[in-house]
Amino acid sequence: MSNYSKLVLSSFFKLFGIPFVVLSTLYYFYDFSLNSVVTAVIYSVLALGCLLAVIVTFKLNKTALRGMATVAITYLSVYLVALKMNLNTTPMEYLKGVIFTVLAIAFITFFRCVLLPKKDCAFYTLRKVLFVIIAFITLFLPLLLLCYLIATNSLISSDIIIALAQTNGAEGAEFFVSNVNYKWLLALLFLIAVIYINCKAYENLTCDPKAKVTTSFSIAIILIGSIFLAIPRIDYLPFAVVKVTSRQLDNFALYKQQKGVRLQKLSTLTSLKLNPDVDKDGNLFVLVIGESQSASHIQAYGYQKATTPKLVERLKEPNHLLFNNVFSSWPQTVQALSYALTNANQYNQVEVSDAYSLIEIARAVGFDTYWLSNQRKYGMYETPITVISSTANHEIWTNGSAKMEGVFFDEELVNRLPKVDPNKNTLIIIHLMGSHQKYEKRVPKEFRQFTGADEVVASYDNSILYTDYVVDEIYNKAKKNPAFKALVYFSDHGEEPHVVGGHDPVNVTYQMLKVPLFVYLSDSYRKNHLNLFESLKTNEHKYFSNDLIFDLMVSLMRIEGVPNFEESLNLSSKKYRLDKASTLTMYGKKHINEFSEEKN
């Protein structure tokens, strides 16, 4: 072999062979989560290897240290936030953050050496601008979290990103205008300052301008490749938020796409029918969905303040049942409700995009369906909730505007409750604003009864008191209809009033998961379905997750032949089987018994 072809071969291997071997090894092990020690070790070695390769290739000396240290500080500062906010960050998560930081240092240092090898190289200004852009890209994740924190004093959450992504242009502008203040300016200044400091820290770096092109190219492929691989999997703090968000936005898009397919399938589903024991005259069922209501602040569950006097009074009657161990499947609205309102749940393999909604099933057996909501209707991207609500025969949105503040208090829903034909079968689903954050804005003056040193808790408790009143008014109005059979109330998830954001999957606690559930039956319904009533009564203390609300409703409404319906997950069945050890949460990733009740 001639020297020339040897050179070509070795260059080729360096250019593509080495990156190929490294990345495919990584990819092979990467198929499972970074929680595996093997993957974590391989990834650490790779990150350190990349950094070392940059140092050796460009013959870096101590002058590079200042830049590297600055990037490290910027990246790791998010963990100070995590510590300060008491996020449940595990040692493994810290380790992953450190590994990712090393990769980021290798990335920015590499581009600094390639772009600005010498003080007076050609196109100096252009190169400098490019380096600032690279610095911005590298520092984007930590800066996103830090700037948002400065501007709003809260941790950016997937809820916020989703809400913004679902806002259309005009609403987005409105959101920005109504929220912009000097703190946003402060955040912008902070962003510019951090990028400036990082670029400045690299200013005196000296490197070998004649570094081999092949080696540099090889390093570039490995660096970009491993960052690319890391993005969907590594748990560097801001990622946890971004990752959850993007996955869920994909699911929402899919859910909407599948709507036609589901309706098509439903029309061919001949098994679906009403049980012959159903009242032939007409049936009215009401499902009320609460917002951010934690069972820990409800008097009926033992809370020391009288937050639910109406409920407490109602429970003295035999037709009214309170369930004591109910948990949310996910501590955020859209996610929790896309399980609660469809036949997808944590115990079956049904994807949300393929799942039938309660409304679709009810319509298929001839129910007239209503959706009443005091929550805000999302804009550009529809969520499963707006897709579900759009399939109802009648939709009533009291809060048409995009403003999260809302225009009306929840009582407006009572006023707008439709007068329905008692000779028909009707399902009314009501979505309250409930105890959504900015609690004081959810409650009219006359319900602001709790006061005290802890204003946040007082406002939160006032919102519970008000919801108690609103639900009772809905019940009073509904039961006047002779067709009334049952009212079911549950909350999408709980809340920790003192935690920033109130509820968040990144920092989930017992109180964010424990929710209320109660069922009010009519006299006639109880008498005609004594077995069902007895089963409900027996199951009052059993464990339950609110993704199974669909199954409970379908059973109460006496709909049979629902695909994937399991009697053992039906709370109104004698065969109901869930207990503390088998009840799931966090979309099936955790068991309820992994959470413990902390008093605070």
CA separation, residue 354 to residues 209, 216, 266, 382 (Å): 57, 47, 11, 16
Nearer residue to Zn ion within complex by CB, 507 or 535: 507
Stretch that binds Zn ion, among 251-259, 486-494, 519-527, 530-538 (CB under 5 A): 486-494
Nearer residue to Zn ion within complex by CB, 200 or 438: 438
Nearer residue to Zn ion within complex by CB, 235 or 492: 492
φ and ψ of 20, to 5 deg:
-60, -50
Residue 438: CB minimum distance to Zn ion, A:
13
**Residue 374 within binding range of Zn ion, rule CB under 5 A:** no
Nearer residue to Zn ion within complex by CB, 167 or 425: 167
Nearer residue to Zn ion within complex by CB, 340 or 365: 340
Report yes or no: 379 and 402 within 8 Å, Cβ to Cβ: yes
Determine the Cα–Cα distance for residues 388 and 359; give it in Å rounded to an integer: 7
Sign of the torsion angle spanned by Cα atoms 81, 83, 88, 92 = positive
Residue 290: CB minimum distance to Zn ion, A:
9
The residues in 213-252 that bind Zn ion, with binding defined as CB under 5 A, are none
Report yes or no: 456 and 440 within 8 Å, Cβ to Cβ: no
Nearer residue to Zn ion within complex by CB, 334 or 344: 334
Position of minimal CB gap to Zn ion: 333
- Pattern 308-347, Zn ion, x by CB under 5 A: -------------------------x--------------
Would you tell me how many other CB atoms lie within 10 Å of the CB of residue 291? Answer: 22
- Pattern 27-56, Zn ion, x by CB under 5 A: ------------------------------
The residues in 277-306 that bind Zn ion, with binding defined as CB under 5 A, are 291
Nearer residue to Zn ion within complex by CB, 492 or 547: 492
Nearer residue to Zn ion within complex by CB, 279 or 492: 492
> Nearest-CA neighbor of 341 among 378, 391, 278, 396?
391
Residue 512: CB minimum distance to Zn ion, A:
10
Residue 291: CB minimum distance to Zn ion, A:
5
Chain centroid offset of residue 380 CA? 18
Would you tell me how many other CB atoms lie within 10 Å of the CB of residue 447? Answer: 19
Residue 25: CB minimum distance to Zn ion, A:
43
Nearer residue to Zn ion within complex by CB, 225 or 502: 502
Residue 292: CB minimum distance to Zn ion, A:
5
Question: What's the token pair of residue 14?
Answer: 């360096």
Strands 368-373 and 320-327: unpaired
Question: What's the token pair of residue 362?
Answer: 């009810």
Residue 491: CB minimum distance to Zn ion, A:
8
**DSSP secondary structure letters along 270-330:** TT-EE-TTS-SS-EEEEEEEESS--GGG-GGGT-SS-S-HHHHHHTTSTTEEEEEEEE-SS
**Burial class of 546 by CB neighbour count within 10 A (0 to 12, 13 to 18, 19+):** buried
**Residue 492 within binding range of Zn ion, rule CB under 5 A:** yes
CA separation, residue 461 to residues 412, 448, 451 (Å): 20, 9, 9
Partners of residue 430 on adjacent β-strands: 288, 372
Residue 463: CB minimum distance to Zn ion, A:
13
How many residues sit close enough to Zn ion to count as binding (CB under 5 A)? 3
Nearer residue to Zn ion within complex by CB, 94 or 587: 587
Stretch that binds Zn ion, among 116-124, 214-222, 491-499, 564-572 (CB under 5 A): 491-499
Nearer residue to Zn ion within complex by CB, 211 or 352: 352
Stretch that binds Zn ion, among 62-70, 125-133, 487-495, 575-583 (CB under 5 A): 487-495
Residue 238: CB minimum distance to Zn ion, A:
23
Determine the Cα–Cα distance for residues 97 and 34; give it in Å rounded to an integer: 11
Residue 192: CB minimum distance to Zn ion, A:
36
**Burial class of 121 by CB neighbour count within 10 A (0 to 12, 13 to 18, 19+):** exposed
Which amino acid appears at position 280 of this protein? Answer: K
Which amino acid appears at position 514 of this protein? Answer: K
Partners of residue 266 on adjacent β-strands: none
Nearer residue to Zn ion within complex by CB, 40 or 337: 337
Question: What's the token pair of residue 76?
Answer: 């790791």
Residues at the interface with Zn ion (CB under 5 A): 291, 333, 492
